[in-house]
């Protein structure tokens, strides 16, 4: 399928904010230094008053949250692999082919704050909006609980939190990149709490340059499979506002390898539907005129 071009300025940001527009900010998560401490999960829950998610132990390594959800805005994944930590397949006489070992891949996942965000496209009330920092935020008091945003997200990030005592009722929930802290000049709670600086917050352009330099270092250290995920503005969502340095393929971490904004084809679909409706109206009109004759 041929990918349609994405608009240059989704939701007219930053022009829509005029003089109030700020440089776009985001996260760079360097998974190579993540120690799986879950400080980010705890800090996120404490600052944003996110309720617990059941305290259910899934038995999947030390992963007790499972995935991002309405009650888990940061999720630390633990992936156990039966392979060596480093594999240098290009070195002459390398013994990497027969190497064995156990390694843990740890990564703190979060909303990607996509440049082209399908959740924004489908929200009928404006509960989801793009802030002056270029981030995607949910206004819980405006959300009507329709749930359109849930299947629209190509990453399965956003979810509805059910309202206690009202079965079937709920509001959309996800990371806001601590919008309230940002307005006071503070970094997000998760980045502030991270002891190894695996989660780095700042202006997106600066983070991308830093990530490219870090990737070169990681490759030089023998991590041949390391790659940046979501740093390319030319990808199917126009680049992430929260991107990652991974030590393996995205699928290993439960991430889609080639995400595409799910509303990409809507203009052509609506255009075809209108053209078909126009043709049908023309046929009906001609048949009515012919019948009168």
The domain segmentation of the chain, as residue ranges, is 10-262, 263-293
The backbone torsions φ and ψ at residue 244, rounded to the nearest 5 degrees and listed phi first, read -135, 150
Q: How far is CA 144 from the centre of its chain?
A: 22
Would the pLDDT of 285 be above 90? no
Q: How confident is the model at residue 241 (pLDDT cuts 50, 70, 90)?
A: very high
Name the nearest CA neighbour of 71 among 173, 153, 154.
Answer: 173
CATH of 10-262, one of 3.30.70.20, 1.10.1050.10, 3.30.43.10, 3.40.50.300: 3.30.70.20
What SS3 state is found at 112?
coil
Question: pTM of the entire structure?
Answer: 0.82
How would you label 53-84 residue by residue, b for 16+ Cβ within 10 Å and e otherwise?
Answer: beeeeeeeeebbbeebbbbbbbbbbebeeeeb
Predicted local distance difference test score (pLDDT) of residue 100: 62
Q: How confident is the model at residue 293 (pLDDT cuts 50, 70, 90)?
A: low
Q: What is the mean pLDDT of residues 200-220?
A: 97
Would the pLDDT of 112 be above 80? yes
Q: What is the mean pLDDT of residues 16-33?
A: 94
Q: What is the mean pLDDT of residues 100-109?
A: 86
Residues 74, 78: Cα–Cα separation, whole Å: 13
Per-residue pLDDT tens over the stretch 148-204: 999 999 999 999 998 877 777 899 999 999 999 999 999 999 999 999 999 999 999
Per-residue pLDDT tens over the stretch 246-274: 999 999 999 999 999 988 755 554 454 55
Predicted local distance difference test score (pLDDT) of residue 271: 53
- Out of 176-180, 210-214, 220-224, least confident range: 220-224
Predicted local distance difference test score (pLDDT) of residue 103: 86
Task: List CB contacts of 196: < 8 A, sequence separation 6 or more.
Answer: 33, 34, 35
């Amino acid at each position: 399928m041929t990918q349609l071009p994405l608009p240059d300025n989704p939701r007219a940001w930053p022009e829509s904010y005029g003089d109030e527009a700020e440089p776009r900010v985001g996260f760079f998560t360097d998974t190579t230094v993540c120690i799986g401490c879950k400080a980010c999960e705890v800090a996120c829950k404490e600052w944003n008053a996110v309720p617990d998610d059941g305290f259910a132990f899934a038995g999947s390594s030390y992963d007790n949250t499972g995935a991002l959800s309405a009650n888990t805005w940061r999720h630390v994944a633990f992936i156990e692999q039966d392979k060596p930590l480093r594999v240098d397949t290009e070195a002459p006489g390398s013994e990497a082919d027969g190497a064995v070992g156990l390694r843990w891949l740890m990564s703190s996942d979060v909303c990607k704050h996509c440049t082209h965000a399908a959740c924004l496209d489908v929200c009928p009330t404006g509960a989801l909006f793009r802030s002056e920092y270029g981030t995607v935020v949910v206004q819980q008091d405006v959300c009507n609980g329709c749930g359109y945003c849930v299947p629209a997200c190509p990453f399965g990030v956003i979810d509805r939190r059910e309202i206690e005592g009202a079965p079937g009722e709920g509001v959309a929930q996800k990371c806001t990149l601590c919008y309230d802290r940002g307005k006071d000049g503070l970094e997000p709670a998760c980045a502030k709490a991270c002891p190894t600086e695996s989660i780095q917050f700042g202006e997106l352009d600066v983070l991308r340059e830093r990530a490219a330099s870090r990737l070169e270092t990681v490759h030089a250290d023998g991590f041949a499979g390391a790659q940046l995920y979501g740093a390319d503005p030319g990808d199917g969502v126009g680049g992430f506002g929260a991107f990652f340095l991974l030590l393996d393929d995205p699928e290993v971490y439960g991430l889609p390898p080639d995400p595409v904004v799910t509303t990409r084809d809507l203009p052509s679909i609506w255009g075809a539907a209108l053209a078909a409706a126009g043709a049908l109206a023309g046929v009906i009109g001609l048949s009515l005129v012919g019948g009168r004759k």
